[in-house]
Structure 1
């Protein structure tokens, strides 16, 4: 997403139900990425649950794609902040245009496998089929081949990171906060910390979850930033 001009923000907010408009915080534009992570040089993708930065930023990531809430796009447009979508091919193929509209509004689409298996413990070839296949199919659907990856359930092993690298994924990600039913759960005490990666899903209560994440970031004095900007 890009910085909304006041008029554009007003228009985007007007498309939301009245009970949601006052719950969308306004953020200053994210600062340019001061530094980028250092990726491994051993033939594996990087693994991160937080981006090591002192900048006052956090990262919103949204997984899967099974539930296609009618207000999700409108909320993203009203908030006008960067989001990264880790999409599962099987979840999005019933309505790929739903996510194409988010991409057109500024969201970045990344890889979350084809069928959402638990990759940990599987053979290298099995994991590579899921990771490369997910990236290839998302490229066909959305015109850009993903370069970032989230393993289903956050479960991974050395084969996951090796296959990710060999499939063109620069980095793979865990998280520091999760959100469900409008509640943010913290791994390391209360409050979002600079560089934290926050996990959401496309679920029935998407508005509550998205607004809870925005409010938690705002309360911490941080700004949502684009995850991809911090990866070489």
Structure 2
């Protein structure tokens, strides 16, 4: 066989193999200035390559806030607390657990910072909102948006009165009324309660129970103007409940709480998951 005929036959074989690899449609690979890389030497796609930067919720924050949002591991499976059986709601300032978790709770609802939704999405942690009906009545949709980022809504009365020392009827009206109105606004009736200022008495816990509240809560740490205030040691402990408010410096407060939890080696968990 002459050299020219052999060369033509080899060329035809290569063309046929390319057509077969392309499904027999005659498609040709795009020209390339560099030789192809074999599959065995191709680098694995990185997370950045798989997820465009715009899909990262932290990237949606202002640039000065992005480094201040810590990353957390998922919380462990919850261990349920034991509730009273004497006709009163439980009273808790810390969840009795050795698990490395803490609980973020935010009260009232007066100041509605437009960055809250993006912060919640970027942090991607469980948060419990104890909402006062009067405080949210001008814009209940704001808190419905926060629910889409994983927040849950619980009860903080209608008008934020000091309950301690008031009559059973008064306390029951504020607690039941708050739960009922939040149910109308958001579809789910709260089962957890925080008395305004934490002030309560045995009547409060009885009225809360009669209104369907399983537990009422105090706190171990609180934050204001970007500072965390501790009742005990200068560190968040496993099971601690942390108090925030919807205040003008909401962004600083929220970031301070996240970083206090992170520095303690804990991760935020959902308060509701620990209540039977």
TM-score by length of 2: 0.81
RMSD value over aligned CA atoms?
A: 1.3
CA distance in 2, matches of 1:18, 1:103: 25
Q: Which has the larger radius of gyration?
A: 2
Q: Deviations over 1:104-161 (max 9, x none)?
A: 2210000000000000000001000000000000000001000000000000001100
Shift of 1:80: 0.2
* CA displacement, residues 74-129 of structure 1 (integer Å, 9 cap, x when unaligned): 10100000000000000001000000001122100000000000000000010000
Partner of 1:25: 70
Listed as ranges, the gaps of 5+ residues in structure 1 are: none
Q: How many residues align?
A: 227
* CA distance in 1 between partners of 2:174 and 2:106 (Å): 19
* Alpha-carbon distance in structure 2 between the residues aligned to 1:77 and 1:15: 9
Residues 9 and 78 in structure 1, CA contact (< 8 A), matched pair in contact too: no
Report the 3-state secondary structure (helix = DSSP H, G, I; strand = E; otherwise coil) of the residue aligned with 1:66.
coil
Give the conservation status (yes or no) of the 8 Å contact 2:59–2:66.
Answer: yes
- Superposed, which structure 2 residues align to 1:167-206 within 5 Å? 167-206=211-250
Distance in structure 1 (CA, Å) of the matches to 2:55 and 2:221:
30
Pairing 1:1-232 to 2, within 5 Å after superposition: 7=51, 11-33=56-78, 35-232=79-276
Higher RCO (CA 8 Å, separation ≥ 6 residues): 1
Instruction: Say which is worse superposed, 103-112 or 172-181, in terms of deviation.
Output: 103-112
3-state SS of 2:141 partner:
helix
| 4+ residue segments displaced more than 3 Å | 5-10
Question: Which ranges of structure 2 fall in alignment gaps of 5 or more residues?
Answer: 1-46
Q: Does the 8 Å contact 1:63/1:112 carry over to 2?
A: yes
CA distance in 2 between counterparts of 1:134 and 1:165 reads 14
